[in-house]
Homo-oligomer: A and B are copies of this chain.
């Protein structure tokens, strides 16, 4: 059995920088035609120069692949209209992190009042720049996403023309909010479609499945699967693939992040096939995102074949999701390039 995906895109991707960038970017570039690249470097990407230069480093790391990195800026409340107008050509979106909520987010937003956010959001709305949001409060870990929903709602109501992407949603509550507002959209990761908190701490503790937002309850996963499997117009695939060196994952104080880029498409195919909705995968991994973002990625066909393979224990010094396990689908390397 075969499946040709046209221009699959990863709408939420961490590529890091330096050696890590050079190690992981080619793995995404091989399987995807474009990706929304997260700006949470140290220091975060906050200027056109930084975005351009980061993009250049990504293109160098992925030379030879037909792959477009779609750059983002790290949200600041004081970006002004002229700056955003100038930078608009260089970026696909702006990513908002609450301060301290995940890896390298220390410089994120602390004040979520509309007054504080309005200057930047107003300009983004006028200029048509989508807002990507890591929507979690600093509350109890299982409640953070649900607690953040009123903030999504306030922004969605006040800026009806602003496209707001609820990134890596993990809960039934988020799915319900998504469907209530026309200008809310969402990315869903591979791992949140696969796992619940049981997989992380229900048996032995599995640091390689530890991520933010943490995986939630079975009924939450069911709600995510429902909209993903039907490829609801409002949802897109975003891996949130977040590589950390093995030493940072397999130690006390383990960093949050699942590295799924190299296994994402095969694992999605396996999951969608099992749910008997393989025909919806194209929409979920590309068509919806093209419409929501209004963009045209490089034309690229990626061929998946139903043939089992053993996922490597490591890619360089990074342990992937499904390390050492069998997946029933694989990317046909001949056609992927």
Question: Can you report 12 A-B residue pairs in the complex whose CB atoms are below 8 A from each other?
Answer: A140-B197, A140-B198, A140-B202, A140-B217, A140-B218, A204-B254, A205-B210, A205-B256, A207-B254, A249-B252, A250-B251, A252-B319
From B196, B204, B207, B319, contact of A205 by CB (8 A) = B207
Q: Which 6 A-B pairs have the closest CB atoms?
A: A205-B254, A141-B202, A204-B253, A205-B210, A141-B198, A201-B214
> A210–B202 Cα gap in the complex (Å)?
10
> A218–B142 Cα gap in the complex (Å)?
11
Shortest Cβ distance from A204 into chain B, in angstroms? 4
> A254–B217 Cα gap in the complex (Å)?
21
Contact B217 A142 (CB under 8 A): yes
What residues of chain A have their CB less than 8 Å away from a CB belonging to chain B?
A: 140-142, 196-198, 200-202, 204-208, 210, 214, 217-218, 249-256, 319
Contact A205 B202 (CB under 8 A): no
Identical subunits present: 2
Q: CB-CB < 8 A to A254: which residues of B?
A: 204-207
> A119–B175 Cα gap in the complex (Å)?
50
Q: CB-CB < 8 A to A207: which residues of B?
A: 205, 207, 252, 254
Contact A140 B204 (CB under 8 A): no
> A140–B198 Cα gap in the complex (Å)?
6
Q: CB-CB < 8 A to A206: which residues of B?
A: 252-254
Shortest Cβ distance from A103 into chain B, in angstroms? 10
> A13–B296 Cα gap in the complex (Å)?
62
Besides A140-B197, A201-B210, A250-B252, 12 other A-B contacts (C-beta < 8 A): A140-B196, A141-B201, A141-B202, A142-B197, A204-B253, A204-B256, A205-B207, A205-B210, A205-B254, A205-B255, A207-B207, A250-B250
